[in-house]
Structure 1
């Protein structure tokens, strides 16, 4: 009898614990979904700001603000011309970049050579047909390169593009992190750089909710999308947490309400 009661008690405790776990899991899923929607809203806010008249005079990025749901947003805008184009970058630039990322000259050279080989025109099997042009259509294809570890792939993503078409990146548009990897010193007295009015940009929205949920959404956006469209969103990506960015956000605060910033830019 005692064993039976003990077994029933254990089963009851298991049911209670399981129910609590399922409730917590459902709550976590809901928190992540809410943070994801907030991140996409922040991306749309940045697009609207970029399309507003003379946005560079009223809003500067990184932008730190509060969304209507109470989430804290850090929104960054990165110009694709300031990144290394996988289809157009010179072998020297690719080698220097991947050598810096890997800390190994021979490995960096091998990866650069494989990228050059990947983008070379390939011979077609059809008689009389010219070589087929094979190019990177997205930076996510970088993981197809032999020797590209998952960690190296994720680290390289913030610094590469397929949208600039430049053999050398625009040093004025490059991030300080990219310049450091290329061993280029940023200009000490560089003036404030406004938002571009054309070309492609990556918008990175880093969302922190009050319950501690964190979600980062990145969007590759082409301004002046053509066919009468003011812009085109070419890719959505989920970003990785940048610990240095988190420290900077805590140090500088969360800023004003995001919609107030948007109204200021539009006025």
Structure 2
């Protein structure tokens, strides 16, 4: 009986040790996971601020006192190191993009065509964009323009006013997610021009100009960037509104992306130098 009790006691101790080992292992794994998460968050936060520094560097370079030191807002990439991170910044002038509120139907049609749409669909979609942004309409005209949307199962009709954002284009009848993803980087609502500025236009916007093809546009952009990428240069055209994309990559591969649309203030007394019109973190259109 005495030996039986000792055996039971030994078994209980062994089970207790096993349970304790399991608990300690679980706590150790949890502590390691939390430590890794904290380190990732710390590195991600550092990368975010490094990317923000790249964005601020671009704002400064757009307004450099010496024109020869200004960065060119035609989409070329400027690379430099900051705080141990590799920073890559590109700036695109909004005047080089297709303005949803002011672009002519011909430019819109050509944009949809070079993005891969068939001629009939491209023309119909251009008219749908124009119908969406048209204003000063009568109640009957608004009702008529809303009918195709309601027939397609939409709960809304055209705004009958200017686009409030580029993303709003996705609501226009006939716009597909695939087409929107292709053309979104070439669109704006801040240009105010009927056609893109060829000096700063990205590929599809440049190819939408009359007499232009995708092949010709690629050659022009290659010529524009040849031997100048990453170097200061004289800013041509450009206007005062720009989209900036700043990417920071740390030594361990941690990556942060900031995208902002800013309007420079021209050094007006009391101004902050620029105003942010749009701010996005992470990848996207």
- The TM-score with structure 2 as length reference comes to 0.68
Structure 1 match to 2:246:
205
Give distance in 2, aligned partners of 1:7 and 1:112.
70
Does 2:90 match 1:63?
no
Which ranges in structure 2 are unaligned for 5 or more consecutive residues?
A: 1-11, 140-158
Are the equivalent residues in 2 in contact too, given 1:71–1:207 (CA < 8 A)?
yes
Q: 1:27 to 1:99 in 2, by over 3 A?
A: farther
Give distance in 2, aligned partners of 1:54 and 1:165.
28
Does 2:38 match 1:26?
yes
Give distance in 1, aligned partners of 2:262 and 2:242.
5
Are the equivalent residues in 2 in contact too, given 1:49–1:55 (CA < 8 A)?
no
Structure 2 match to 1:194:
234
Are the equivalent residues in 1 in contact too, given 2:47–2:254 (CA < 8 A)?
yes
Structure 2 match to 1:88:
102
Are the equivalent residues in 2 in contact too, given 1:43–1:75 (CA < 8 A)?
yes
Match of 1:33, SS state, is helix
Note the C-alpha offset of 1:100: 3.8
Does 2:144 match 1:144?
no
Give distance in 2, aligned partners of 1:3 and 1:150.
59
Note the C-alpha offset of 1:59: 5.2
Quick check: which has more Rg, 1 or 2? 2
Which ranges in structure 1 are unaligned for 5 or more consecutive residues?
A: 126-131, 243-267
- The TM-score with structure 1 as length reference comes to 0.72
Structure 2 match to 1:74:
88
Does 2:206 match 1:179?
yes
Q: 1:76 to 1:29 in 2, by over 3 A?
A: same
1:163-220, CA deviations, whole angstroms, 9 ceiling, x for partnerless residues? Answer: 1111211112112454357734133755977335742111211111111011111221
